[in-house]
């Protein structure tokens, strides 16, 4: 049980860090806290560039998928 919680906790911490990076990209350009900014209408270009942004999204997916498979015992 302790082992399971530790592994899942570490994977989810990585997922949370990646999510925070993605969220940070939107701050000031698309949203400010909870509000959608007017300049969002003009489009959005992440500072890190679209390839890296999408790579982070993909990495996030892998963390979530691993955590799900780990939870269901499919790993």
Instruction: Kindly list the residues in this chain that would bind another protein in the complex (CB under 8 A).
Output: 1, 4-6, 8-9, 12-13, 15-16, 19-20, 22-23, 26, 30-36, 38, 40-41, 43-44, 54, 57, 60-61, 64-65, 67-68, 71-73
**Cβ-based neighbours of 19, under 8 Å, separated by 6 or more:** 60
Q: How far is the CB of 48 from another protein (least distance, A)?
A: 14
Give 18: exposed, middle or buried? Use CB within 10 Å, 0-12, 13-18, 19+.
buried
Cβ 64 to another protein shortest distance, Å: 5
């Amino acid at each position: 049980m302790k082992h399971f919680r530790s592994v899942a906790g570490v994977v989810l911490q990585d997922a949370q860090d990646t999510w925070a990076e993605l969220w940070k990209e939107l701050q000031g350009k698309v949203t400010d806290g909870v509000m959608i900014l007017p300049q969002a209408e003009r489009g959005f270009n992440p500072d890190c560039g679209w390839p890296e942004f999408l790579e982070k999204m993909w990495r996030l997916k892998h963390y979530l998928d691993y955590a799900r498979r780990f939870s269901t015992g499919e790993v």
